[in-house]
Chains A and B, each alone.
Chain A
Amino acid sequence: MTKAASLAIFGGAPLFARPIAKGQQHFPAWPQFEAMFRDIFERQYYTNHGPLAQALERRLAERLGVRHAVLVANEFIGLLAAGQALGVQGNVVVPAHCSIATPLSLDWTGAKPLFCDVAPQTGLMTAELVAPLLAGRKVSAILAVNPWGDACDLHGLQALARENGIPLYVDSSQGFGCEIAGRPLGGFGDIEVFSFHSDNILGSCEGGVICVQDDALAARIRNIRSSYGMGTPVPVIKTANGRMSEAQAALASFNLDHYTDYQERNARMFGLFRAGLAGIAGLGVRVPSGVSQSNYQNLICHIDEAVFGMSRDDLWRVLRRENLLAGRGFVPPSHRAYAESHETTADTLPHTEHYGATTIELPMNQALGEPDAARVIDLLASIQRNAGGIRQRLAEMA
Chain B
Amino acid sequence: MDAKTSPEDFALFGGKPTFDSIRSTSNLVRPEFDRFLAYSRLFFDGDRFSDEGRAQQLLDARLAEFHAVRHCVSFCSGFWALVLAMKCLALTGRTEVVMPSLTYRRLADVAAWAGLTPHFCEVDPVRLSISAETAGPCINENTALIMGVHPIVNCCDAAGLEALSVESGIPLLFDSVESVYETVDGRKVGSFGRAECFSMHASKFVNAFEGGYITTNDTALAERLRIMRDCGSRDDGTFFAPAMNARQIEIHAAMALAALDDMPDQVELNRRRYYRYKTGLANVPGLRLVPFDERERSGYKNIVVELLDDWPISRELTLVLLHKENMLCRPYYFPALHQKTTGYPTVWGDLSRTEALAKRFLTLPCGYFVSEDDVERVCDCLRAIHVHGAALARRVPEAS
Contacts and interface: CB of A to CB of B under 8 A. Distances in A.
A37 B36 contact: yes
Interface in B320-375: 341-344, 368-369
B207 interface: yes
Chain A, interface size: which category? 35 or more
A121 interface: no
B240 A46 contact: no
A25 B30 CA distance: 27
B112 interface: yes
B191 interface: no
Interface stretch (A27-35, A158-166, A183-191): A27-35
Contacts of B106: 226, 239, 241
Given A30-B44, A47-B210, A247-B251, A104 B243 contact: yes
Contacts of A77: 76, 80, 244-245
A47 B201 contact: yes
Nearest to A44: B30
A206 B237 CA distance: 22
Contacts, number: 137
Contact of B245 (A101, A240, A332, A337): A101
Contact of B50 (A46, A108, A198): A198
B274 interface: no
B30 A74 contact: no
Nearest to A101: B231
B251 A205 contact: yes
Given A30-B44, A47-B209, A248 B243 contact: no
A76 B244 contact: yes
A294 interface: no
Interface in B39-80: 40, 44, 47-50, 76-77, 79-80
Nearest to A238: B109
A80 B231 contact: no
Nearest to B210: A245
Given A34-B37, A47-B201, A47-B202, A251 B251 contact: yes
A236 B343 contact: yes
B344 A237 contact: yes
A77 B84 CA distance: 14
Contacts of B44: 27, 30, 33
Nearest to A367: B47
Interface string B230-250: 011100011111111111011
Interface of B: 28, 30, 33, 36-37, 40, 44, 47-50, 76-77, 79-80, 106, 109, 112-113, 201-202, 207, 209-210, 231-233, 237-247, 249-252, 255, 341-344, 368-369
9 contacts: A206-B50, A237-B344, A238-B342, A238-B343, A241-B106, A245-B210, A341-B232, A342-B241, A367-B47
